[in-house]
Amino acid sequence: MSFERNSRLSEEVRKVLSNLIQNNLKDPRIPPLTSITHVDVTKDLRYAKVYVSVFGEKDAKLNCIEGLKSASGFLRRELGSQIKMRYTPELVFELDTSLEHSMKINDILKELNKNE
């Protein structure tokens, strides 16, 4: 029962944060092609690990994470006002590299098929 509730809450947090980042943040360090791929909320609802995918160079990705960390207070306050919970989780931003990893594997597979 709690796993289902936790996964629904994680998905709702992802939707709200995605909307806030796209529409309400004015930080120039955060590029327009920033998306939240996944959110993990802990069982006690105190922390939320937010996985962010950023299109661009490594410097742009690191700047985006720094911009999101500096805006975490604003994002947490807005999240608390839009989702009624006992505790508003503290946001921890992590860079999601799964898209780059899958593209690298895809390129390797294309190269193998081309050689055969």
Q: Where are the alpha helices (DSSP H) in 24-71?
A: 58-70
Percent of the chain with pLDDT over 70: 98
pTM confidence score: 0.83
Full set of structural domains in the chain with CATH: 2-115 (3.30.300.20)
Residues 8-14: contacts with CB under 8 Å, at least 24 apart? 9/41, 9/45, 9/83, 9/85, 10/38, 10/39, 10/40, 10/41, 10/48, 11/39, 12/83, 13/39, 13/41, 13/48, 13/50, 13/79, 13/83, 13/89, 14/38, 14/39, 14/50
Q: What is the pLDDT of residues 30-44, one digit of tens each?
A: 998 899 999 999 988
Contacts of 112 (CB under 8 A, 6+ apart): none
Per residue in 55-69, pLDDT (tens digit) is: 888 899 999 999 999
